[in-house]
Amino acid sequence: MTNILKELRESAVSHRIKRLSENLINDTKRIYKELNIDFEPRWFVISHLLNERKSASINELSNATGYTHPAIIQIVEQMMKNKLIETSKNLNDKRKRKLVLTKKGENIFDSIHPVVNDIEDSIKEINNEAGYDILHVIESFENALNERSLYERTKLRNKKRQLDTIEIIRYSPSNKEYFKQLNFEWLQKYFEIENEDIKILSDPENEIIKKGGEIFLARYEGEIVGTCAAIKLDKENFELAKLCVTEKAQGKQIGKKLALAVIGFTYAKGAKAVLLETARSLKAAIKLYESLGFKYIPDFHQSNYKRPTFWMKLDLK
């Protein structure tokens, strides 16, 4: 029968590593059991550290092994139950307790040395047969993960995939109502609809398009879910304005793709900078703008809105 984990390849690598680890641990358990050694393989690293250092705290064991505190505590509790380790007062700080091997723990650790040597030699033999140094492979894999975790790598790919599924379309009279309604929905949630909002949203052709600006809309899964405008301020500057995404479609990179559309448009028009007016309460939006390179600028010019705002700027040249 074909092994499904082999068929799944990279998508099942964590399962295969787990299975490999379990197989090695179970074989080691079997060896200890047949030699009448009452010792668990997962206790070995802690025993080794305590044997080398003579004593260590939970925090020190966690730092040295890379295990989480809960994992260390669980192992320690098992070893204490089997009377392999105990606590002793820290002479420098009596509030802290250090862990040490008991006499029983020391004796058992000494007794497994020959077995551990045999296991090491067996692993070397497996390496030779496989044609790979498994320790080198694991270390290289760990180093790559330390540089960028699986979570971070997958998150980046997920964001790119989301961006690729979003269609950006330009304004036309047929989608005028989307521009207005999406912005009204957003404004009613976060602020109040002011006269300046009504002026721009009710007549985008005259207020934006005919003045040299542009409006973009985002289509996701066949539905218009967001919009943004590039408003021409002067020959050198545009404003990124009226960026909003309907609530059910937020968190899918739609705002980012709309902002990039405006930046691309203004760059093509030869602008030197893109500015935007936002509010400190819009933390997610500010984080997006900062990720795109926008920086805070004081006192750009007086706002046309009653709501408290500040300006940010992205230099294009």
The parts of the chain modelled with pLDDT lower than 70 are 1-2, 89-96, 299-301
The 3-state DSSP class for residue 142 equals helix
Question: CATH 3.40.630.30: does it fit domain 161-315?
Answer: yes
Q: What is the pLDDT at residue 179?
A: 93
The 3-state DSSP class for residue 295 equals strand
Cα–chain-centroid distance for residue 104?
Answer: 45
Say which amino acid occupies 147. Answer: E
Q: What is the pLDDT at residue 1?
A: 39
Output the CA angle 65-70-76, nearest 5 degrees.
70
Q: What is the pLDDT at residue 200?
A: 92
Q: Residue 126 is encoded by which pair of tokens? A: 């497996």
pTM strictly above 0.75: no
Instruction: Tell me the domain boundaries of the chain.
Output: 4-147, 161-315
Q: What is the pLDDT at residue 93?
A: 57
Q: What is the pLDDT at residue 159?
A: 81
Q: What distance in Å separates the CA atoms of residue 27 and residue 25, rounded to the nearest whole number?
A: 5
Residue 311's φ and ψ, nearest 5 degrees, are -110, 150
Q: Which CATH class for the 4-147 domain?
A: mainly alpha
Q: What is the pLDDT of residues 140-181, one digit of tens each?
A: 998 999 999 989 998 888 888 877 888 999 999 999 999 999
Say which amino acid occupies 190. Answer: Y
Q: What is the pLDDT at residue 309?
A: 87
Q: What is the pLDDT at residue 104?
A: 95
